[in-house]
Amino acid sequence: LQLIFGLGTPLQLDRESVIVGVFAKTIYNLPTNATDFTEPGVYYTRASKSRWSFYKMFEKMIALYGFGGKECLLRAICEVAYVPFDIHHGLLGELVQTFLR
């Protein structure tokens, strides 16, 4: 697939006739078969860190600030499951809910 876009305008000079313009050209190679979309032999593995490792890190962090640690984290998980955030809490609410689910 090839796309060409151009824009030109004539210049009015005393004796010469000149057209000034610019153009842009882009080329996109269309796929010919399904192997163009996938790499053969590529295998995806799970990430080495799981949600539980993030929970452990978060548990240690809230314990350092003097909160209950594991008890506080478990309570937060239960509260998020019981009363989920709604659209008014924005992106931060979505991230907290995703992290604590």
> 12-37 burial, b for 16+ CB within 10 Å, e for fewer?
eeeeeeeeeeeeeeeeeeeeeeeeee
The pLDDT of residue 42 is: 62
Question: Do 50 and 26 meet the contact criterion of CB atoms below 8 Å apart?
Answer: no
User: What is the C-alpha R_g of the chain?
Assistant: 29
The pLDDT of residue 43 is: 67
| Residues paired with residue 70 on neighbouring β-strands, in sequence order | none
The pLDDT of residue 25 is: 92
The pLDDT of residue 52 is: 80
The pLDDT of residue 41 is: 67
pLDDT in tens, the chain (101 residues): 788 999 988 888 888 888 889 989 999 888 787 776 776 666 667 666 777 888 888 888 888 888 788 888 888 888 887 877 777 778 887 777 777 77
